[in-house]
Amino acid sequence: MNDLEEIVYKHALLNAAKHKGSANPGAVIGSIMSQEPDLRSKAKEIGPMAGKIVAKVNSLSLDEQKEEMEKFNLEVKTQKQVKEVGLQELPGTHENIVLRFAPNPSGPLHIGHTRAAVPNAEYVKRHDGKLILRIEDTDPKRVFEPAYEMIPEDLEWLGIHPDEIVYQSDRFEIYYDYARHLIEKGAAYMCTCDGATFKELKDDCKACPCRSNSVNENLELWEKFDTMEAGEAVLRLKTDIQHKNPAIRDWVAMRLVDEKHPRLGNKYRIYPMMNFSVALDDHLMGMTHVLRGKDHLANSEKQKYLYNHMGWDVPEFIHYGRLKMEDITLSTSKALAGIEEGIYSGWDDPRLGTLRAVARRGINPKAIYDLITEIGVKMADSAISWKKIYGLNRNLLEPIANRYFFVENPILVNVNGYEAGSVVIERPLHADYLDRGNRLLTFDGSAYLAFNDLNDGVVRLMDAVNAEVSGNKLTYHSATFEDARDIKAKIIQWVPSNENVNVKIVMDDASLKRGLGEIALRDLKVGDIVQFERIGFARLDEIKDDELIFYFAHK
Reply yes or no on whether the pLDDT at 139 is more than 90: yes
Mean pLDDT of the chain: 94
Reply yes or no on whether the pLDDT at 102 is more than 60: yes
Angle value at C-alpha 91, between 120 and 13, nearest 5 degrees: 130
Pairing of strands 406-408, 466-470: unpaired
Pairing of strands 457-461, 466-470: antiparallel
Q: How many CB atoms lie within 10 A of CB 213?
A: 18
Q: Which of 502, 492, 496, 495 is nearest to 534 (CA)?
A: 492
Task: Kindly report, residue by residue over 193-206, the tens digit of the pLDDT.
Answer: 999 999 999 999 99
User: Which has the higher per-residue pLDDT, 218 or 7?
Assistant: 218
Eight-state DSSP code of residue 534? T
Sign of the C-alpha dihedral computed for residues 432, 434, 435 and 438 taken in this order: positive
CA distance between the termini of the chain? 51
For helices 43-58 and 3-18, angle between their N-to-C axes, nearest 10 degrees: 50
Tell me what pLDDT residue 82 has: 43
Dump the DSSP string for 122-151.
HHHHHHT-EEEEEE----GGG--TTHHHHH
Q: Is 19 exposed, middle or buried (0-12, 13-18, 19+ CB in 10 A)?
A: exposed
Task: Kindly report, residue by residue over 301-314, the tens digit of the pLDDT.
Answer: 999 999 999 999 99
Task: Kindly report, residue by residue over 268-279, the tens digit of the pLDDT.
Answer: 999 999 999 999
Residue pair 146/336 in contact (Cβ under 8 Å)? The answer is: no
Q: 348 — alpha (psi -120 to 50), left (phi > 0) or beta?
A: alpha
**Rounded CA gap, 489 and 207, in Å?**
84
Q: What is the 3-state secondary structure (H, E, C) of 6-31?
A: HHHHHHHHHHHHHCCCCCCHHHHHHH
pTM for this structure? 0.83
Sign of the C-alpha dihedral computed for residues 159, 162, 163 and 164 taken in this order: negative
Q: How many CB atoms lie within 10 A of CB 432?
A: 8
* Mean pLDDT (whole number) for 225-241: 97
Task: Kindly report, residue by residue over 527-548, the tens digit of the pLDDT.
Answer: 999 999 889 999 999 999 899 9
Reply yes or no on whether the pLDDT at 44 is more than 90: no
Residue pair 401/372 in contact (Cβ under 8 Å)? The answer is: no
**Rounded CA gap, 272 and 437, in Å?**
62
Sign of the C-alpha dihedral computed for residues 20, 26, 30 and 31 taken in this order: positive
Kindly state the greatest CA–CA separation across the chain: 104
Reply yes or no on whether the pLDDT at 330 is more than 80: no
